[in-house]
Amino acid sequence: MWRVILYLTPATVAAALLLTLLGALGLRSAATRWPRTVGRIGSLALALWLALIAAATFTASDGSTGGSGGGLWLSPGMETLRADSAYVTAYEKEMVVRQWVANGLMFVPLPVLLTTARPGLSAAKCLGLCGTTAVVVELVQ
């Protein structure tokens, strides 16, 4: 599942954010006509998205990313970005940034899906739930 970061470019990131915005606007307008149906679809989509996040979190590395092959590969992160170019190539630094962007993009649809599944949810509760989910996933990794 880690190979998705190879497809991250500024254009694909912008497209993902634009699709999330358009999806949110479409769901909001559809909810005025069919609130129960959109709520059910939102609940299903939220459950599927959380399953995708869990799969991405718990999927073991195959060893080709520097991991041992038996567990998760944890990016050295800031140490890689600060390292001298004699030790770390520009490609390795780019891959760390791409991994961070992929982690961030994984959580972008959560507020949209959460407010679609539970229309009466306040903005503060939605922010708290999404933030908690992000922190829990990062701690599990």
Give which of 54, 49, 56, 52 is closest to 1, Cα–Cα. Answer: 56
Task: Summarize the chain as % helix, strand, coil (round to 5).
Answer: 75, 0, 25
Q: What is the pLDDT of residues 32-68, one digit of tens each?
A: 999 999 999 999 999 999 898 888 777 755 544 444 4
Q: What is the pLDDT of residues 93-130, one digit of tens each?
A: 788 788 888 888 888 888 888 888 888 888 888 888 88
Q: What is the pLDDT of residues 4-16, one digit of tens each?
A: 777 788 888 899 8
* Domain edges within the chain: 2-140
Cα separation, 111 vs 37, whole angstroms: 18
